[in-house]
Amino acid sequence: NSICMDEVNKCAAACKDCQRVESSEPPRYVCKDRFTGQPGPMCKPRAQN
């Protein structure tokens, strides 16, 4: 099992457990769904600023 903790502007329609990131301005959301299977979903790489 793997959980992708990407913060996004809005959760995907397929996300069943979307949670707002506390103290985020503008609001950001994380999909807390648990995925099973091989291979697990890939998270987007962190932006390098």
pLDDT at position 44? 61
- Residue 43: pLDDT band with limits 50, 70, 90: low
- If you average pLDDT over residues 26-46, what whole number do you get? 68
Percentage of residues of the chain with pLDDT beyond 70: 59
Q: Is it the case that residue 19 has pLDDT exceeding 70?
A: yes
pLDDT at position 1? 44
Bridge partner list, 20: 29
- Residue 35: pLDDT band with limits 50, 70, 90: low
Report the alpha-carbon distance of residue 26 to residue 12 in Å, rounded.
Answer: 18
